[in-house]
């Protein structure tokens, strides 16, 4: 693109113009499912080779697959679904992408313009339904708008705080000839997200950080979204300061987990040291995180004595739940560059003595080993889920490994025990908490990285929510590994019932689970099972070695809970620790706390 606007060129059909626009936007793969309203697009896809189409088994999975693709590559994911049920099935995926700021463009069929509003077959008010489920959406009513809207959708999806954008495409628009134009370099009329931070705020932030006695850097998914260079700069800045750093669930991998300055994930199931550092710090630098309720615990007890600096690309995240002292609106990459420059320019030395004392305290907290667990090694011993993750991590070290998860206990154990050194290698549903995310997301990751090892760490309940995608894995020869921590319970529900509802396990036990080995085989995949600790390493090794999709059914301890845990409505310094590491019985949960999710 040289900035000149070529004169429009008339294409035979809207569908052809659409595909050309997708190619111009760098799309090389679409995840989708056909239907009446999108047949013209499928016909155009059939007649070209540049864009590959991955046929999923359910539209929700198409969106999660595109999320996995987007989050592991930094590119915009592309989805194609038909009208009516195709669109409504996609909604969960769209909200998931909205909550976790994943750039997507979802192309959606619609009944022809003259039938809109008539309750036609497979008609739904898709733009109405998806308005709060997307960053923005469009209904193309005129052929001349089609290509402009597609280019604009990609701009909106990837710029500012990324998110899903939906384009509703009536069938007549796809059939009628449409003019094609290259993307223009002109600015959007009304949408101009701010990316460069205010220099004065950066100086204020550095002044606070230099004087800090008990600082912490709290980095989230915004750093991952800003690209690998932002993670590199985060590492550089943190080492420059010598401050402790914690990552959110979405931010894992933004800072290398093996680095001594890393104090682990924070929040509801974060480490003892990370949460106590957050509680006791005097200066907090939040970069690319949003003070989510899983992170803050009880708001009025959250980090009560700290000055807070909050850098976020989305101004609406600042002062939303936690009032901050220094707001910085900007992209994480630009902000980190500015912070590093300002830090180097400011000659004030850091308070070395205070910092040494702070690290001394952190080491005491660390020595609690809050993620510790005991795995009995006698023959026939039951597998601890944490141990299964640890052994998986050991077996995959040194390989290019991508991890996705479903939602629940296994997700938290994966976050705690799998160590991420690089960004974009960890895909999990953080904001929406969508069970059924992991398998399709892994599919999308594998499409983007055909030679990498892609593992979906799953629970036996979550995996059944999108199990049909085993068919997609077989059809497209995607050797995704599904690593099920099978405790026969919706484990996180069971844990809350044990801790908060008097052990009344209402509807959290899955009777009549399938035989996952046979299930894998019926989907042309390999099924493996580990029943005791003696089987585990062999099953993991075999799972990695097989060049086919695999379901590894790991039978784990049914009674295991995720610790540490900040119970609902409690503060960071009121964590429950695991058995054998308890200070007491922990805080009582108030009625107010019981109402929280």
Partner 1 sequence: MSDTNLRSATISVLVENESGVLARVIGLFSGRGYNIDNLTVAPVERDGSKSRITVVTQGTQMVIEQIKAQLDRLVPVYKVLDLSEGPHLARELALIKVIGTGEKRAEALRLADAFRARVIDATTESFTFELTGATDKLDAFLDLMRPIGLAEVSRTGVAAIARGVKTIS
Catalytic residue positions, numbered:
59, 121-122, 171, 492
Return d(Cα 337, Cα 9) in angstroms, integer. 42
Cβ burial 486-505 (10 Å sphere, 16+ → b, else e) = bbbbbbbbbbbbebeeeeee
Q: Which is nearer to partner 1, 149 or 281 (CB)?
A: 149
Q: Which of 135, 279, 337, 494 binds partner 1 (CB under 8 A)?
A: 135
Confirm if 257 and 421 have CB atoms less than 8 A apart: yes
Compute the least distance from the CB of residue 165 to partner 1, in Å. Answer: 9
User: CB under 8 A: which stretch of 124-132, 380-388, 455-463, 509-517 binds partner 1?
Assistant: 124-132
Among 137-145, 248-256, 264-272, 522-530, the segment contacting partner 1 (CB under 8 A): 137-145
CB 547 within 8 A of CB 479: yes
What's the Cα-to-Cα distance from 14 to each of 31, 83, 176, 310, 351, rounded to whole Å? 20, 17, 6, 45, 64
Q: Which of 139, 249, 490, 577 binds partner 1 (CB under 8 A)?
A: 139
Judged by DSSP in three states, 259 sits in coil
Q: Which is nearer to partner 1, 160 or 385 (CB)?
A: 160
> Which CB atom, from 183 or from 315, has the smaller least distance to partner 1?
315
Report the distance separating Cα 357 and Cα 511, nearest Å. Answer: 53
Least distance (Å) between residue 88 CB and partner 1: 17
Q: Can residue 323 be called a binding residue for partner 1 (CB under 8 A)?
A: yes
- Rounded to the nearest whole angstrom, what is the least distance from the CB of residue 156 to partner 1 in the complex? 6
The reply on whether position 184 binds partner 1 by CB under 8 A is: no
Among 47, 189, 380, 507, binds partner 1 (CB under 8 A): 189
When binding is defined by CB under 8 A, the residue of 4, 316, 506, 591 that contacts partner 1 is: 316
> Distance between CA atoms of 485 and 423, rounded to whole angstroms?
24
Taking the CA of residue 429 as centre, how many other CA atoms within 13 Å lie in the half-sphere pointing to its CB? Answer: 32
300 binds partner 1 (CB under 8 A): yes
Q: Which of 7, 47, 187, 190 binds partner 1 (CB under 8 A)?
A: 190
Stretch that binds partner 1, among 259-267, 313-321, 388-396, 417-425 (CB under 8 A): 313-321
75 binds partner 1 (CB under 8 A): no
Stretch that binds partner 1, among 88-96, 128-136, 234-242, 553-561 (CB under 8 A): 128-136
Q: Which is nearer to partner 1, 4 or 190 (CB)?
A: 190
Of 222 and 244, nearer to partner 1 (C-beta) is: 222
Is residue 132 part of the contact set for partner 1 (CB under 8 A)? yes
The contacts of residue 419 (CB under 8 Å, 6+ apart) are 257, 258, 393
Residue 513: which residues within 8 A CB-CB, separation 6 or more?
460, 486, 488
- Considering only 26, 48, 50, 128, the residue that binds partner 1 (CB under 8 A) is 128
- Number of residues counted as binding partner 1 (CB under 8 A): 25
Between CA 282 and CA 119 the distance in angstroms is 59
Closer of 47 and 190 to partner 1 (Cβ): 190
Q: Minimum distance between the CB of residue 492 and partner 1, rounded to whole angstroms?
A: 27
- 318 belongs to the binding site for partner 1 (CB under 8 A): yes
Q: How far is CA 483 from the centre of its chain?
A: 18
Given a contact cutoff of 8 angstroms between Cβ atoms, the answer to whether 277 and 263 are in contact is yes
- Cβ nearer to partner 1, comparing 8 with 193: 193
User: What is the distance between the alpha carbons of residues 229 and 531, in angstroms, rounded to a whole number?
Assistant: 43
89-104 residues labelled b (16+ CB within 10 A) or e (exposed): bbbbbbbbbbbbbbbb
Binds partner 1 by CB under 8 A, chosen from 232, 320, 524, 548:
320
Pure H helices in 49-130: 59-73, 85-99, 126-130
Interface residues for partner 1 in 142-181 (CB under 8 A)?
156, 160-161
Strand order in the sheet with 401-405: 426-427, 401-405, 453-459, 481-486, 550-555, 526-530
**Residue whose CB is less far from partner 1, 167 or 465:** 167
Cα gap 535→398, rounded to integer Å: 23
Residues near partner 1 (CB under 8 A) are 127-128, 131-132, 135-137, 139, 141, 156, 160-161, 188-191, 193, 300, 314-316, 318-320, 323
């Amino acid at each position: 693109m040289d900035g000149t606007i070529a004169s429009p060129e008339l294409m035979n059909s809207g569908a052809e113009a659409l595909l050309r626009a997708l190619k111009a936007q760098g799309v090389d793969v679409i995840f989708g499912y056909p239907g009446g309203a999108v047949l013209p697009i499928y016909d155009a896809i059939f007649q070209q080779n540049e864009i590959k189409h991955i046929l999923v088994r359910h539209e929700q999975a198409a969106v999660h697959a595109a999320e996995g693709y987007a989050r592991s590559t930094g590119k915009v994911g592309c989805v194609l679904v038909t009208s009516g049920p195709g669109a409504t099935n996609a909604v969960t995926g769209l909200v998931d992408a909205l909550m976790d700021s994943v750039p997507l463009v979802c192309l959606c069929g619609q009944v022809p313009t003259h039938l809109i509003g008539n309750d036609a077959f497979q008609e739904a008010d898709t733009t109405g339904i998806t308005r709060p489920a997307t960053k923005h959406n469009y209904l193309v009513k005129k052929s001349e708008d089609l290509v402009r809207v597609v280019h604009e959708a990609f701009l909106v999806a990837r710029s500012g705080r990324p998110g899903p954008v939906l384009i509703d495409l009536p069938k007549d628009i796809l059939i009628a000839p449409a003019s094609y134009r290259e993307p223009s370099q002109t600015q959007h009329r009304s949408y101009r997200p701010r990316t460069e931070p205010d220099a004065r705020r950066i100086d204020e932030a550095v002044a606070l950080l230099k004087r800090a006695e008990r600082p912490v850097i709290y980095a989230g998914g915004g750093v991952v979204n800003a690209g690998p260079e932002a993670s590199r700069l985060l590492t550089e800045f943190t080492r420059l300061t010598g401050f402790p750093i914690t990552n959110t669930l979405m931010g894992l991998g933004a800072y290398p987990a093996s680095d001594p300055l890393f104090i682990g994930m924070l929040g509801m199931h974060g480490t003892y040291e990370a949460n106590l550092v957050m509680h006791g710090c005097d200066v907090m630098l939040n970069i690319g995180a949003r003070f989510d309720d899983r992170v803050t615990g009880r708001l009025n007890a959250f980090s009560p004595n700290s000055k807070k600096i909050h850098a976020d690309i989305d101004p609406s995240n600042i002062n939303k739940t936690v009032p901050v002292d220094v707001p910085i609106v900007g992209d994480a990459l630009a902000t980190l560059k500015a912070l590093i420059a300002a830090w180097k320019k400011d000659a004030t030395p850091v308070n070395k003595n205070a910092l040494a004392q702070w690290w001394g305290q952190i080491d005491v907290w660390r020595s609690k080993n809050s993620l510790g667990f005991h795995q009995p090694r006698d023959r026939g011993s039951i597998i601890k889920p944490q141990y299964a993750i640890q052994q998986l991590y050991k077996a995959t070290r040194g390989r290019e490994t991508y991890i996705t998860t479903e939602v629940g206990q296994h997700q938290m154990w994966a976050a705690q025990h799998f160590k991420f050194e690089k960004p974009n290698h960890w895909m999990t549903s953080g904001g929406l908490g969508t069970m059924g995310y992991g398998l399709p997301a892994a599919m999308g990751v594998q499409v983007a990285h055909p030679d990498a090892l892609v593992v979906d760490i799953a629970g036996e309940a979550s995996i059944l929510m999108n199990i049909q995608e085993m068919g997609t894995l077989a059809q497209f020869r995607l050797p995704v590994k599904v690593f099920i921590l099978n405790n026969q319970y919706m484990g996180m529900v069971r844990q809350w019932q044990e801790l908060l509802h008097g052990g009344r396990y209402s509807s959290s036990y899955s009777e009549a689970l399938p035989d996952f080995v046979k299930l894998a085989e019926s989907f042309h995949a390999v099924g493996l099972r580990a029943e005791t600790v003696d089987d585990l390493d062999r099953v993991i090794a075999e799972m990695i070695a097989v060049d086919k999709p695999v379901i590894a059914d790991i039978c784990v301890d049914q009674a295991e809970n995720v610790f540490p845990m900040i119970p609902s409505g409690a503060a960071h310094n009121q964590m429950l620790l695991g058995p054998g590491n308890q200070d007491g019985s922990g805080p009582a949960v108030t009625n107010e706390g019981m109402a929280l999710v």
